[in-house]
Structures are given as structure tokens and as C-alpha cells.
Copies of this chain bind each other. A is one copy, B any other.
Amino acid sequence: MSKNEGRSAISPKRSEDYPEWYQQVIKEADLAENSSVRGCMVIKPWGYGIWENMKQELDDRIKSLGHENAYFPLFIPLSLLQKEADHVEGFAKECAVVTHHRLELKDGKLVPSGELEEPLIIRPTSETIIGESFSKWIESWRDLPLLINQWANVVRWEMRPRLFLRTAEFLWQEGHTVHASEGDAIEETLLMLETYRSFMEEVLALPVIIGRKTESEKFPGAVDTYCLEAMMQDRKAIQAGTSHYLGQNFSKASDIKFTNKEGELEYGYTTSWGTTTRMIGALIMAHGDDDGLRIPPRIAPKQIVILPIVPKPELEAEVYTYAEKIASRLKNLEYHGNKLSVIVDKRDKRGGEKSWEWIKKGIPIRIEVGPRDVESQSAILLRRDKGVKEKQPLLIEALEETVLKVLDEIQQGYLKEAKNFRDAHIKKDIKNFEEFKKFFTPKDKEKPEIHGGFVLAKWCGDPESEKILDELKVSIRCLPLDQSGTQGTCVLTGKEATIDAIFAKSY
């Protein structure tokens, strides 16, 4: 195969055309595809398997902190949305509007009929519709905190959709909580931020910088928006999740009141926080290479594929039996609270072809078994984090031990690699706007997407100063929680400044 001759399985390579490489990885790894509805995606089984694992891992963590799942309507009446003016102004304008509830055949053509008295909006997020329920559920401080999470689909009309990163419909979880005090609500906001951080680093092997958004970048209607920012291999930032402290803004709009311990009626303090199928996009761009996807073992739909190699049909039974024996031993292995997911690939295809399919899909471990391995009670182990031809002998007596060790090495290795890459591309010594501008200007005009990376620098805090960033297509990604507290000069204005800020181009 041509791929064995030093070429890569994905064309173009990352260095040739990063955006197109991204699309090709999704195609070749069979993760998702565009549908006939503009901006909506079909998530195929391999992609959905990743999402199911993300869901299960996050759901366990969310529930272990006392939150309960519930489900709220897909539709928001227009009048309900109208109540939250700031929210709508900044946010909910590009959305799907339902105006009719029937189809009729007219001259053989289906046409909408049955116009609704009030149009319905398909939820772009559920603060308003959930707030309506919360206002009925809460009476006194005894009902607080109210800790609810929802797994759902949401719709935001996107003008420039891209699979996983920006789609009209996407899947997410949205947490919504109500607390008796500002302190409790802020604590919750930061607790969920930390929950996301540990999930992303431990499970997705995705190193993230956590911090607060500036006024101009925060969620409309929020008092404070906290976020998690990861660096992709084109050095752009992706926002992998957000956690909002909403103060009493939404509780006032939704009339969420409670009687406090002093017997007085008070508005609740609310939070909301979410992560989406966008994380799959981040996973692809953080870990993928020129041979396709590389999935961290803890989130892989399957950790291991066993590839039986059958040179002659009469040897098939023997090799298959051996492959199944290895598989059943591995399937019994406990791996981070679940059983290992293992497949024996017996499809009627050439071995090389099958192998490349699994490489492109990013499966962590491939195990090849042939007639000679049956005799010697061994196998060949191939790791997705090593070169495609790097084979390693695997003794069956040490099967379980070896496999668990290798999975752990791959998981840790991906995190370390992503962290090293990121740290190498955070520039910390930029002193003025000239240097700043140069850093974000592509060296090669043919590849406008390649630039310096992140800048960690001082910022004066003046919202006006951020406007200069627009022409560079750069923004303040966050003000890291981890602030140095030192004095310096603002990289945008030259004024005195104490705030540390992360600047980057972003998805």
C-alpha cells in the first residue's frame, strides 16, 4: 500500500491544509457527515460512540455531586424569551422558529398550515424554559440548592457550519442550579468548572486553561462566565466548555423566589454550565495526526481490535478460535469502572486494508494474530501512539498486564504531548502591540492559519482596548484563574496593568 511508503493515510497532511485535514479525518474515521439540512450533522456510530462515553463519564461526575437529570421541552414560547431582553439581544437571534403545526396537500404538494397563535422557538439554550419550572418548584430555602442537569439537543442557526465545531443542531448537557446565596452559587459555578477541567484532562487527555471571560466575551445575561480553553494543533484556541454565574438576572426574569431563613422573600442565585459535541472536534484537532484520529483509550468506543491473519482458508478456524480466546480474556478486564471494549475484525477484507481503517479510526491498540502465534502462544501488538510499522511481540501469559500498561501509557502520552505542544506555543514575553501583531501574523501567506499560538500577557482591563483585536481576528480567550498578581504594562494599550490574560485566535 502506498501508505507503507512513508506517506500518510490522510490527505492533505496537517501541515498542508489544516482545515481540510480536519474534514478528511472525520470522513476517513467515519465519525460524522453533513445532512441534507444545511448545518445539521449525522453523527455516525464511531463518532456517537465517543459521545456516549463522554456522556457516561460526565454524567457520573455530575450526579456524584448531587445533581439530578430531568427533561424540559424543546420549544420556548416567544413571549417567554421576550422576558429576558439582554439574553435575547446578545444571543438568541439566530434560531429556528416554528410557526405552523400541520401539513396539507395542495395540488399534490405538501404545504404548512395551521398557523400557531404564538410562534415557538427551538431552544438555543434552556434558561428561560427551565426558569419557568424552577419558579414553581421552589418555595423556601429548604428547596435549595436545586441542582438539575439535562442532556438534550439544541439549535442555533449557524451561517458557517463545520462538523462538530459549529452545527445548527448539536447535542449537549446543560446544568441549571438555584442557590440561596451568591457565595453558594459562585462556589457551584467554580466547582463545575473544575469538574469539567478534571474530566477533560483525565479522560479526554485535553489540557485546558481555566479562566474568566471578559465583559465583551461573556454569556449574555451572565454576571460572570468561566471557560476552559484548549490549544489545537494549528495553535488556535477552542472553548471546550463554560460555566456561568448568573446572579439574580435570570431569577428576576423567571420569578424564581424563595423564602429565606429570616422569612423574607428573595430572588434565587442561579448558575448554568454546559459542554457539547464540540468536544469531539477538540479531540480530533488536539490528538489527530497525518494518519487520522487518535482517541485517548478512556474515551474510545473500542480500545482494542484483534486482527486475525489467515494465509490459507484451512487455517481460519484455528486462528479465529485463538483470536476469540484473546478477546474474551480482554473483555473481562476492568478498565476505569467499565469492561474493556474489544472487537475481533473478521470482515472479508484484506488485512492491510482493515489495519488502515482502524488506524484512521484511532483505535488505541491493534493485536495481530496468525497461525504461528497460535503455536507460540503470542501475538503482535501495535500501538496507535507509535509508528504504524512498529510491532511489539505480545506474550499471551502477560496479556492483561501488558494491555493495561500500554493503554495507560497511551492515555498519559497523549496528554503529555498535547501539553508540551501547548506550552511550547504560549508566548509569555511579548511586551508591546507591535510584537503582539507580528506574533499573530502568518509567516506564510499560503497558510494563513499558521501563526504563533497563544499569548499570555498583561491587560489593563479596559473593554475599549479589546476592539483593536478584531482586525487580527484575535480575542481574549480568558483571564486565567491562576493570576500571577504581578505589575506590568498592558500589551494592547501600554498602560499599567495587573491582569494576566490569554490572547488567541479561536474556533
Chain A interface (Cβ within 8 Å of chain B)? Answer: 33, 35-37, 40-45, 48-49, 51-52, 68-78, 80-82, 88-89, 92-105, 109-110, 112, 114, 119-122, 129, 132-133, 136, 142, 148, 152-153, 155, 157, 169, 171, 347-348
Report Cα–Cα, A103/B152, bound state, in Å.
22
Report Cα–Cα, A45/B68, bound state, in Å.
6
Contact partner, A97, options B33, B69, B92, B100, Cβ 8 Å: B100
* Pairs of residues from A and B, 9 with the lowest C-beta to C-beta distance, nearest first: A45-B68, A40-B73, A97-B100, A43-B71, A97-B112, A101-B157, A37-B75, A96-B98, A99-B99
B contact residues around A155 at 8 Å (CB)? 74
Contact partner, A109, options B74, B82, B122, Cβ 8 Å: B82
B contact residues around A99 at 8 Å (CB)? 97-100, 112
**How many of these chains are in the complex?**
2
- Is A98 touching B101 in the complex (CB atoms < 8 A)? no
Q: Which of A75, A121, A347 has the largest number of chain B CB atoms within 10 A? A: A75
B contact residues around A114 at 8 Å (CB)? 157
- Is A73 touching B110 in the complex (CB atoms < 8 A)? no
- Is A97 touching B98 in the complex (CB atoms < 8 A)? yes
B contact residues around A120 at 8 Å (CB)? 37, 96
B contact residues around A102 at 8 Å (CB)? 93-95, 97, 157
Contact partner, A82, options B43, B48, B110, Cβ 8 Å: B110
- Is A42 touching B97 in the complex (CB atoms < 8 A)? no
Min CB distance A465 to B, Å, is: 29
Report Cα–Cα, A23/B165, bound state, in Å.
43
- Is A95 touching B101 in the complex (CB atoms < 8 A)? yes
B contact residues around A74 at 8 Å (CB)? 40, 122, 153, 155, 169
